[in-house]
Structure 1
Amino acid sequence: MVIRYESLIPDKDEFFLLYETTGWNSNGTYTKEQLFKAIKNSWYCISAYHNDKLVAFGRIISDGVYQTFIGDMIVHPEYQKRGIGSEVLNLLTDKCKESGIKWVQLSCARGKIDFYKKFGFKERPVDGPSMHKFI
């Protein structure tokens, strides 16, 4: 299987279809337009295609110096366990290295911790400074 990786923002409809496979938007919190606006505001992104179909996506939100967050790491369920997510993550972290960024943060979906550990990511301590608020 040939996968094409490109540093570009995917089509709005294609991205929405891929995003919907995650279950992250099951309550309809975000519209297609909102999600597209979000990814357009990314510092860097990678889209992966199989036969011109978007099958994976990852992006970086960053100030380009030290605050860097990997978001929306998505691989379509039919394409998981084939190394596509690994390649997307490698391309994202390579961009950080090329740009001199040393600290890369992310939040991972339930059950995905071991995947990120393979790439050197470490869990924050339970009493660490991580916080969030959903409004």
Structure 2
Amino acid sequence: MVYTICETNPTFEEYQALHQTTGWNAKRLYTYEQLFQAICNSWYSVSIYDEQTLIGYGRIISDGIYQTFICDVMVHPEYQRNGIGTTVMEALLAHCKNENIKWIQLSCAKSKQPFYQKLGFTERDVDAPGMMLFFK
């Protein structure tokens, strides 16, 4: 199957439809308007379409020098295990390489670690774990 890869953000409606398939906003912490604004503020984005349907998406937030974070990598459930996620990641990583970014970070669900390991990612050292703060 041939898919279209775009180095742009999808429309609001396309993004909302794909995002709703993930269950990531189940607690409704953010509105879809806020989530869409967030992707519009990205350093780089990749959207993959099957004809007119958004089936994959990923983005990078970065300062363009050394702090780079891949986030919101998602593939419509009906298209998972068909290489779409790998295609998204390869496009994101290629952009980083082209921009001479050497350190790329991401967070993922525990069950997704093998997918990212196949792409060369390693877990942080247990002596140097990441941290977070979440305001309520």
Shorter-chain TM-score bucket reads over 0.9
Where does residue 120 of structure 1 map in the other structure?
120
Where does residue 20 of structure 1 map in the other structure?
20
Aligned residues between the structures = 135
RMSD, aligned α-carbons: 0.9
Where does residue 108 of structure 1 map in the other structure?
108
- TM-score (structure 1 length as normaliser): 0.97
**CA distance, structure 2, for counterparts of residue 7 and residue 37 of structure 1:** 17
CA shift, 1:4, in A, is 0.6
The reply to whether residue 32 of structure 1 matches residue 32 of structure 2 is yes
SS at match of 1:111: helix
**CA distance, structure 2, for counterparts of residue 30 and residue 65 of structure 1:** 29
SS at match of 1:61: strand
Q: Moved runs in structure 1, 4+ residues, more than 4 A?
A: none
Q: Are the counterparts in 2 of residues 13 and 32 from structure 1 also a CA contact under 8 Å? A: no
Q: Which ranges of structure 2 fall in alignment gaps of 5 or more residues?
A: none
**CA distance, structure 2, for counterparts of residue 76 and residue 91 of structure 1:** 18
CA shift, 1:125, in A, is 2.0
Percent identical among aligned pairs is 53
Q: Which ranges of structure 1 fall in alignment gaps of 5 or more residues?
A: none
